Structure 1
Amino acid sequence: MTTEWRLLDDTLTTWYDAPSHSAGAALVERLEAAGTDVDLRPNGLRLRTPSEESAREISAAAKDLGLTADPTALQTIRFGIAAADPVAVRSFWETVLGYEPSGEDPSRRDPQLTVRRLDEPRPLRNRIHVDVVRPSDVVDRARVTTGRDPSGPWGVMLADDEGNEVDLVPGDPLPETTGWQTVFSAMTFYPTTSALEARRLASAVAKLADDAGTPLQIDLRPAGVTIDGSKDQWEDDAPNSGAAFVELAKRIESAAHDLGLAPDAEPLRFVQFGIDAVDVEAVRAFWVALLGYQPDPRAQVSDIYDPRRLNPVLFFQQLDANDERTKQRNRIHFELVVPDDQVQARIETALSAGGRVLDQTPQRCLISDPEGNEIDLR
Structure 2
Amino acid sequence: MTACSGEDGKQAGGPGGPGGPPPPVTVATPLIKPIVDWDDYIGRFEARQSVEVRPRVSGYVERLAFKDGSFARAGELLFVIDPRPFAAALASAEADVLRARASAQLARANFSRTKTLFEQNALSRQEFETDQATAAQADAEVAAAVAVARQRALDLSFTRVTAPISGRVSDRRVDVGAFVTAGSTPMTTIVSLDPIHFVFTASEALYLKYQRANQAGTRPSSRIAPNPVDIRLADETTYRWRGHMDFVDNVVATGSGTMRGRAVVRNPTGFLTPGMFGHMRLLGSGAYQGMLIPEDAVVTDQTRKAVLVVGPDNKVAQRVVELGPIVDGLRVVRSGLKASDRVIIAGVQRGRPGTPVQPKQGKIVPP
TM tier, shorter chain?
under 0.3
| Structure number having the greater strand percentage | 2
TM-score norm. by structure 1 comes to 0.18
Higher relative contact order, structure no. (Cα contacts within 8 Å, ≥ 6 residues apart): 2
TM-score norm. by structure 2 comes to 0.18
